[in-house]
């Protein structure tokens, strides 16, 4: 699928760019001032956040594309509901903006009903358009993990469960959600030119100090040892984010496989 290939290529390219940034920060000359070093680390935080946001938007296209060959009646309910609502409005014609009580011609309802029945056995790819896509995809900025979870719920996938399962398997760090939230909030503070560096109730002079404190908090909270430097800890967050999107796509593929088995059993 084209969108998945594009997404894979994008992730590979950005991982290399961000890894290069981490190496630059790690090898900063001693003559750099504390302020200059902190500015580089701030840029690194923004770069990793941008990777999260871009992947959030791109993966939606990947997931949506995976359902193109599914018949409309077999789509996940939340998606099927959006598609049927589009058909209903389309078949209602000029009556689309009216309430049910305002429609005084029964033929309008007949058109809506017949329109849905005519299309339910057809593939999504035969009817998908920008209006339907716009009703499914969430293009809002500054996305959180909860927004990703909400989107995937439309496809009957619980991202909380996906993350927790992979934490239990040792593929994700137990602090993933916490640190993603940290990256998002700190990026917002940087974007709004908030010079104050704050985590919980503490104020820090630099992001090096702040992240060193964060690692101590996570070490105590999750009873694990964290030995990363500040730049390496942020780079690790990049790889954690990357893994989450890999696990998301794998979950969709498995869900589609099971759905197809179920559909074949019912035919």
pLDDT (tens digit per residue) in 206-253: 999 999 999 999 999 999 999 998 988 999 999 999 999 999 999 999
Rounded to whole angstroms, the Cα distance separating 137 from 125 reads 16
* Beta strands, E only, 112-207: 197-199, 202-204
Q: Which band of pLDDT confidence, cut at 50, 70 and 90, is reported for residue 61? A: very high
Same domain (yes/no): 117, 28: no
Among 126, 65, 127, CA closest to 90: 127
* 69, 125 contact by CB (below 8 A): yes
Does residue 49 sit within a domain? yes
Same domain (yes/no): 142, 261: yes
Does residue 255 sit within a domain? yes
* 171, 246 contact by CB (below 8 A): no
Does residue 44 sit within a domain? yes
Structural domain boundaries enclosing 108 = 71-127
Largest CA distance in the chain: 80
Among 174, 136, 129, CA closest to 152: 136
* 208, 233 contact by CB (below 8 A): no
Same domain (yes/no): 55, 75: no
Same domain (yes/no): 48, 157: yes
Does residue 261 sit within a domain? yes
Which region holds residue 162: left if phi is over 0, alpha if psi is between -120 and 50, else beta? alpha
Same domain (yes/no): 170, 120: no
Q: What is the pLDDT of residue 267?
A: 59
* Beta strands, E only, the chain: 197-199, 202-204
Q: What is the pLDDT of residue 218?
A: 97
How many C-alpha atoms does 101 have within 13 Å on its Cβ side?
0
Same domain (yes/no): 200, 113: no
In the chain, pLDDT over 90 holds for what percent of residues?
59
Does residue 132 sit within a domain? no
And the tokens for 246? 């890999």
Q: What is the pLDDT of residue 259?
A: 82
Write down the pTM of the prediction. 0.89
Q: How many CB atoms lie within 10 A of CB 51?
A: 22
User: Angle of helix 230-266 relative to helix 34-65, nearest 10 degrees?
Assistant: 10
Does residue 133 sit within a domain? no
Same domain (yes/no): 101, 159: no
Same domain (yes/no): 42, 167: yes
Does residue 113 sit within a domain? yes
Among 166, 143, 157, 85, CA closest to 119: 85
Same domain (yes/no): 32, 76: no
Rounded to whole angstroms, the Cα distance separating 82 from 79 reads 5
Same domain (yes/no): 49, 89: no
**Burial environment of residue 107 by CB neighbours within 10 A (0 to 12, 13 to 18, 19 or more):** exposed
Domain boundary among 127, 151, 172: 127
Rounded to whole angstroms, the Cα distance separating 3 from 133 reads 14
Tens digit of each residue's pLDDT (9 = 90 or more) over 250-265? 999 999 998 877 766 6
Tens digit of each residue's pLDDT (9 = 90 or more) over 100-131? 778 777 787 888 788 778 888 889 898 877 88
Looking at residue 192, the DSSP 8-state letter turns out to be: T
Total domains in the chain come to 2
Name the phi and psi angles at 202, rounded to 5. -95, 145
Q: How many CB atoms lie within 10 A of CB 12?
A: 11
């Amino acid at each position: 699928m084209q969108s998945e290939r594009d997404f894979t290529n994008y992730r590979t390219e950005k991982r290399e760019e961000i890894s290069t940034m981490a190496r630059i920060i790690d090898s900063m000359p001693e003559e750099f001032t504390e302020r200059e070093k902190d500015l580089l680390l701030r840029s690194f935080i923004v770069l990793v956040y941008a990777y999260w946001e871009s992947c959030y938007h791109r993966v939606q296209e990947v997931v949506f594309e995976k359902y193109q060959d599914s018949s409309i009646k077999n789509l996940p309910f939340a998606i099927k509901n959006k598609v049927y609502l589009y058909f209903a409005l389309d078949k209602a014609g000029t009556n689309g903006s009216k309430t049910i009580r305002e429609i005084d011609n029964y033929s309008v309802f007949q058109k809506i009903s017949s329109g849905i029945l005519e299309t339910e056995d057809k593939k999504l790819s035969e009817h998908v358009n920008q209006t339907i896509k716009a009703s499914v995809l969430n293009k809002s900025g500054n996305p959180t993990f909860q927004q990703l979870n909400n989107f995937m719920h439309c496809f009957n996938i619980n991202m909380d469960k996906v993350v927790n399962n992979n934490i239990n398997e040792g593929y994700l760090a137990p602090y993933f959600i916490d640190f993603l939230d940290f990256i998002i909030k700190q990026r917002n503070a940087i974007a709004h030119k908030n010079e104050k560096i704050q985590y919980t109730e503490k104020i820090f002079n630099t992001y090096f100090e702040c992240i060193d404190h964060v690692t101590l908090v996570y070490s105590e909270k999750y009873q694990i040892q964290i030995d990363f430097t500040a730049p390496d800890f942020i780079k690790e967050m990049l790889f954690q984010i990357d893994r989450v999107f890999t696990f998301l796509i794998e979950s969709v593929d498995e869900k589609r496989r099971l759905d197809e088995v179920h559909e074949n059993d019912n035919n």
